[in-house]
Structure 1
Amino acid sequence: MPFLTITFPAIDPVAISIGPLAIRWYALAYISGIVIGWIYARALIRSEKLWGGPAPIAPLQLDDFILWVTLGIILGGRTGYVLFYNPAFFIEHPAAILKLWEGGMSFHGGFLGCVAAVMLFALKNNIPILSLGDITTAVAPIGIFLGRLANFIKGELWGREADASVPWRMVFPDDAKQLFRHPSQLYEAALEGILLFAILAIMVRMGALKRPGLILGSFITIYALARITSEFFREPDPQLGFLWGGLTMGMLLSVPMIIVGAILIMKAWRRKAPEHIEKST
């Protein structure tokens, strides 16, 4: 192996094994992301300073919402993968749709599932949709970060071929071509997870929650830009390959997000602060 490479860390994909019960890193990433996100969201809700008054969402309502958003992530993520990435296979093998343990989740589908969960729960409980969306997306990068780390541990969704100018390039065990590749999962963990979380956290501390929809719009826009950037280093799904003009499915699905996010940001800046915020300032 050339000097300018890093050996892929052979980590057992099973994190915890107790008899016949096996919990994989992928599942643990989802569980940890939801739990840590819930804890962080409760902290944000309890801080009246961040909202300019009482938060429009009660902690108990957030607790109930966790089940809704979890279902949204799972159902939306799987549906998105089936429709966006491999429809031909699942038309021929419909029973495989239920085999979640074999992998196959789409962020864009999971995001749409979250949007549906936010809207339905907010309407049912008389909660402002945009504020609930702000809280949900403020904590979302935590789960994205852990999920990308799980992708790396599993050795899936690897990057495109990298030359010797990339000292951290590596060979992934399941790569039939055994090429030196970018560890694009780590790029996504850094951009879509750490960087996005840091930006949104700073915005929250600067009072962004006082303008409903600002965090939501910023999350959508910044994630889309980060995803498009990462896609330049990520190997396209083999069943799809490159699409129009060398674009990938991840890029194409992210373009509408930039437009929607920009609209939400502009509307949030133009919208007047809620009445309880105006009175408290």
Structure 2
Amino acid sequence: MPFLTITFPEIDPVAISIGPLAIRWYALAYICGIVFGWIYARALIRSERLWGGPAPIAPVQLDDFILWVTLGIIIGGRTGYVLFYNPAFFIQNPAAILKLWEGGMSFHGGFLGCVAAVMLFALKNNISILSLGDITTAVAPIGIFLGRLANFIKGELWGRTADASVPWAIVFPDGGPLPRHPSQLYEAGLEGLLLFAVLAVMVRMGALKRPGLILGSFIAIYALARIASEFFREPDPQLGFLWGGLTMGMLLSVPMIIAGGILIMMAWRRGTPQHIEKSIQGRP
């Protein structure tokens, strides 16, 4: 047992309470992630320097897209959890699928929901699917970071048991008597802060001028960060470890590495669109 453990902080699961209205930290994380992401995305769109000319997406189009991506995250996240993590339970209790307040969202399902929202909105509005995907994924780590913090506050998705070499191990209320890795914070750092920093640097270096580059980089880097985090995260009890000690999170991330790599290679081979090259060359 570790020589030092940290007591899990007693945090009220309700972040804001106004009369009968109660907003929990998890819901607040979603709200703030979408709002902060929208603000950052508008700033990226308005900077012609980052695109080498006018952005292929208008601010008003981004405003309309927010509703689409929000629905994609919620519907996709819930559907992914039902199909990937606990199908047997929901087959027996179909009404529970709609009880979102009881928890149960899948990142991989939410990501697929976002992909669907991006493609449908881009086709409907005749804008670049890849560029809209770049903007969406450039801001996505903000929501991931806040979501993982909410997981920690809620005391869910805790890590595996830790030994004496982990003095910051925590005894979670529902995680048994043994101290565990705060894997939610590991994921917040890797999938949130680190991924955001890498993509922000790429954006500043002109990655948005190559449609699909940010999108592919997000997919691949997130998948690698998720696989690394899964080595410290306790698998979902209804699934446990799969083949060879793998987890569902690891398996779902492998196709993302492949897809991300393909998008990155295509973006580099495609190069900078001609209208952007001409815009850059025409400047003094």
Q: Would you say the 8 A contact 2:152–2:158 is kept in 1?
A: yes
Q: Would you say the 8 A contact 2:2–2:163 is kept in 1?
A: no
Q: Would you say the 8 A contact 1:73–1:114 is kept in 2?
A: yes
Q: Would you say the 8 A contact 1:217–1:264 is kept in 2?
A: yes
Give 1:55 shift: 0.2
Give the Cα–Cα distance (whole angstroms) in 2 for the partners of residues 56 and 17 of structure 1: 41
| Aligned positions of 1:1-281 closer than 5 A | 3-176=3-176, 179-280=178-279
Q: Would you say the 8 A contact 2:141–2:196 is kept in 1?
A: yes
Give the Cα–Cα distance (whole angstroms) in 2 for the partners of residues 2 and 208 of structure 1: 45
Give 1:10 shift: 1.0
Q: Which 10-residue stretch deviates more, 14-23 or 55-64?
A: 14-23
Q: The residue matched to 2:61 in structure 1 has which SS?
A: helix
Give 1:275 shift: 2.1
Give the Cα–Cα distance (whole angstroms) in 2 for the partners of residues 107 and 191 of structure 1: 14
Give the Cα–Cα distance (whole angstroms) in 2 for the partners of residues 2 and 147 of structure 1: 28
Give the Cα–Cα distance (whole angstroms) in 1 for the partners of residues 274 and 47 of structure 2: 18
Structure 1 residues 191-232: Cα deviation after superposition (integer angstroms, max 9, x where no partner): 000000000000000000000000000000000000000000
Structure 1 residues 153-212: Cα deviation after superposition (integer angstroms, max 9, x where no partner): 000000000001101001001124xx1100000000000000000000000000000000
Q: The residue matched to 1:57 in structure 2 has which SS?
A: coil
Q: Would you say the 8 A contact 2:2–2:167 is kept in 1?
A: no
Q: Would you say the 8 A contact 2:2–2:166 is kept in 1?
A: no
Give 1:20 shift: 1.6
Structure 1 residues 59-85: Cα deviation after superposition (integer angstroms, max 9, x where no partner): 000000000000000000000000000
Give the Cα–Cα distance (whole angstroms) in 2 for the partners of residues 248 and 3 of structure 1: 29
Instruction: Provide the TM-score with structure 1 as the length reference.
Output: 0.98
After the TM superposition, which segments of 4 or more aligned residues of structure 1 sit over 2 Å from their partners? none
Q: Would you say the 8 A contact 2:77–2:107 is kept in 1?
A: yes
Give the Cα–Cα distance (whole angstroms) in 2 for the partners of residues 85 and 275 of structure 1: 45
Q: Which 10-residue stretch deviates more, 10-19 or 222-231?
A: 10-19
Q: Which 10-residue stretch deviates more, 66-75 or 264-273?
A: 264-273
Structure 1 residues 127-153: Cα deviation after superposition (integer angstroms, max 9, x where no partner): 100000000000000000000000000
Q: The residue matched to 2:7 in structure 1 has which SS?
A: coil
Give 1:2 shift: 6.1
Q: How many equivalent pairs are there?
A: 278
Q: Would you say the 8 A contact 2:133–2:215 is kept in 1?
A: yes
Give 1:3 shift: 4.5
Q: Which 10-residue stretch deviates more, 10-19 or 91-100?
A: 10-19
Q: Would you say the 8 A contact 2:2–2:162 is kept in 1?
A: no
Q: Would you say the 8 A contact 1:16–1:24 is kept in 2?
A: yes
Q: The residue matched to 2:6 in structure 1 has which SS?
A: coil
Q: The residue matched to 2:22 in structure 1 has which SS?
A: strand
Q: Would you say the 8 A contact 2:73–2:113 is kept in 1?
A: yes
Consecutive unaligned residues in structure 2, runs of 5 or more: 280-284
Q: Would you say the 8 A contact 1:155–1:174 is kept in 2?
A: yes
Q: The residue matched to 1:147 in structure 2 has which SS?
A: helix
Give 1:54 shift: 0.3
Give 1:273 shift: 1.4
Q: Would you say the 8 A contact 1:225–1:254 is kept in 2?
A: yes
Consecutive unaligned residues in structure 1, runs of 5 or more: none
Give the Cα–Cα distance (whole angstroms) in 1 for the partners of residues 205 and 70 of structure 2: 29
Taking only the aligned residue pairs, the percentage that are identical comes to: 90
Give the Cα–Cα distance (whole angstroms) in 1 for the partners of residues 4 and 275 of structure 2: 58
Give the Cα–Cα distance (whole angstroms) in 2 for the partners of residues 123 and 31 of structure 1: 26
Q: Would you say the 8 A contact 1:52–1:276 is kept in 2?
A: no
Give the Cα–Cα distance (whole angstroms) in 2 for the partners of residues 238 and 102 of structure 1: 16
Give the Cα–Cα distance (whole angstroms) in 1 for the partners of residues 19 and 91 of structure 2: 35
